[in-house]
Amino acid sequence: MNPFPRSSLAPWVVILLVARWVTGCSPGNSQTPAATAAAPVVVTVARPESIPFTPTETLSGRIDAVESVEIRPRVSGYLTEVRFQAGQTVRKGQVLFVIDPRPFAAAVQRAEAEVEAARVRLASADREAGRAEQMLKTQAISVEGADQRVTRQGESKAALAAAMANLETARLNLDYTQIRSPIDGRVGRALMTLGNNVSGMDGMNTLLTTVVSIDPVYVYADLDEAVLLRINRFRAEKRLPTDEQGRIRVRMGLADEEGFPHEGVVDSFDTRLDRDTGSLMFRVLLANPEERFVPGLFVRLSVPAGPAGSALVVPDSVIGTEQSLKFAYTVSSSNTVEKRFVVPGPLVQGKRVIQSGLQSTDRVVVNGTLRVLFPGQPVQPQEAAGVPPQGAAR
């Protein structure tokens, strides 16, 4: 006979099942979802790197030629030759155009004949003046007659000087029929072709072409008032990077270049600020041996705005944004996450300069930021590969 009726076992079975479920959900069981979520996540940390750094201002400028000349004739006539191709590099004194020289050569011959005739007249006047002096001693001529001969001698000398001046003018006009480049540089297209009559009259000279210098070139840009005051202060203290002549060094780059691979020097500052824009124009002298800098191109300038020193840099990817603020995650000594608001600076060699908000001893989260859910979260930090831990020898 069964001592425990079947109906009396049901309450005891329910009690045992409830007790087992409570035991399985106790905090001591490490396999529960809540316990798994509380486990520290693994993040990679690195300390900010200190590098040499000079505060700079990035500006936009425009390239212009040091010398730019409009080629115009000095005499009038018909073009008979064009001795260049558009865009060609020319040298100072190289002939670019030729005006028909025949009328001017004839003028030179006529002036030479006039000079010769003036010399003959002067020689005759010299002889008459010499005889007049001897005849005056013997009273064979009157004083008035002797004076007239001396006067004719002086007039003949003046006529010879005038004839020689006319000859020099005629020779210059003949030389001006060969229109030469006054500078070394690159010539533009010919604006007048063969057979055209060009004018050499002052104020009405015909424009034939232009020539611009190639190396070096100028870069013009504007500084605002605040930056100008800072530059002037550090320049007076001689704390800006300069060349051997004391000119401020400036870095530059074209639109298709990374960074600022070219270096120039500040050549001059304008004398006053523009009252409408509150800025001051300055000019940079830039070497152009490879002829890459064409007048009219835009260029980016990095102008030093402070003394050389050092700065902390971190990978740009670790900087986060919270509305208008920038921040980075760091790991405290208790291995919990902290949010540090920072003031970022420019990019240097692919890394972001930190102007304030971080110290060189901070451990910055460089990998695993997506696993960070909230400040104070426990993490398991690991030093980034190639970055020695704090206190290790570099």
CA distance 248 to 241: 6
Same domain, 272 and 295: yes
Q: What CATH number corresponds to the domain at position 95? A: 2.40.50.100
pLDDT of residue 243: 81
Cα–Cα distances in angstroms (integers) from residue 24 to residues 11, 17, 20, 31, 138, in the given order = 21, 11, 6, 10, 159
Rounded to whole angstroms, the Cα distance separating 248 from 232 reads 11
Considering only CA atoms, which of 344, 338, 313, 311 is closest in space to residue 326?
344
CATH number at residue 241: 2.40.30.170
Residue with tokens 């921040």: 327
Distance CA 194, CA 98 (A): 9
Provide CB contacts within 8 A for 25, sequence distance 6+.
Answer: 32
Strand order from edge to edge, sheet including 185-187: 68-71, 209-212, 185-187, 89-90
Query: Do 299 and 314 share a domain, yes or no?
Result: no
Residue after which a domain boundary falls, among 156, 176, 196: 176
16 lies in some domain: no
Tell me what pLDDT residue 169 has: 94
**267 and 150: one domain?**
no
Residue 252 lies in a domain: yes
The last residue of one of the domains, among 128, 157, 176, is 176
Same domain, 218 and 156: no
* 85 token code pair: 């191709």
171 phi, psi to nearest 5 deg:
-65, -40
| CATH for 116 | 1.10.287
d(CA 169, CA 172): 5
Residue 321 shares a structural domain with residue 378: yes
pLDDT of residue 162: 94
Beta-ladder partners of 43: 381
**Rounded CA gap, 247 and 263, in Å?**
12
Check if the beta carbon of residue 259 is closer than 8 Å to that of residue 348: no
Does 373 lie in the same domain as 320? Answer: yes
Residue 25 lies in a domain: no
| 147 in any annotated domain | yes
Round to the nearest angstrom and report the end-to-end CA distance of the chain: 87
From CA 181, how far away is CA 172, in angstroms rounded? Answer: 16
DSSP H or E run through 372? none
Q: Can you read off the two tokens belonging to residue 87?
A: 């865009």
Is 333 part of any domain? Answer: yes
**How high is the mean pLDDT in each 10-residue block of the chain (394 residues)?**
47 47 45 52 87 83 93 94 92 94 94 93 83 72 75 87 94 94 93 91 91 93 88 84 84 87 90 87 92 90 82 86 88 88 82 86 85 83 61 33
Domain with 117 in it:
102-176
Q: Is the distance from CB of 88 to CB of 190 less than 8 angstroms?
A: no
pLDDT for residue 38: 56
Q: Specify whether 218 is located in the same domain as 290.
A: yes
Nearest to 358 by CA among 302, 307, 319: 319
Both tokens of 101, joined, read 């020289």
352 is a domain residue: yes
| pTM, to two decimals | 0.65
Residues 91 and 121 in one domain: no
Residue position matching structure tokens 């202060």: 233
What single-letter DSSP state applies at residue 336? B
Structurally, how many domains does the chain consist of?
4
Residue 26 lies in a domain: no
Answer yes or no: do 330 and 227 share one domain.
no
Residues 182 and 84 in one domain: yes
Q: Given 288, 304, 320, which residue is the final one in a domain?
A: 304
Q: Is residue 168 part of a domain?
A: yes
The two three-digit tokens of residue 154, written as one number: 């002086």
Do 152 and 249 reside in the same domain of the chain?
Answer: no
Tell me how far CA of residue 44 lies from CA of 51, 130, 384, 386, in angstroms: 22, 113, 6, 12
The reply to whether 186 and 200 lie within a common domain is yes
Residue 45 sits in a domain whose CATH number is 2.40.420.20
**Looking at residue 11, what is its pLDDT?**
52
pLDDT of residue 225: 87
Ramachandran region, residue 390 (left: φ > 0; alpha: ψ -120 to 50; beta: rest) = beta
Residue 324: per-residue pLDDT: 84
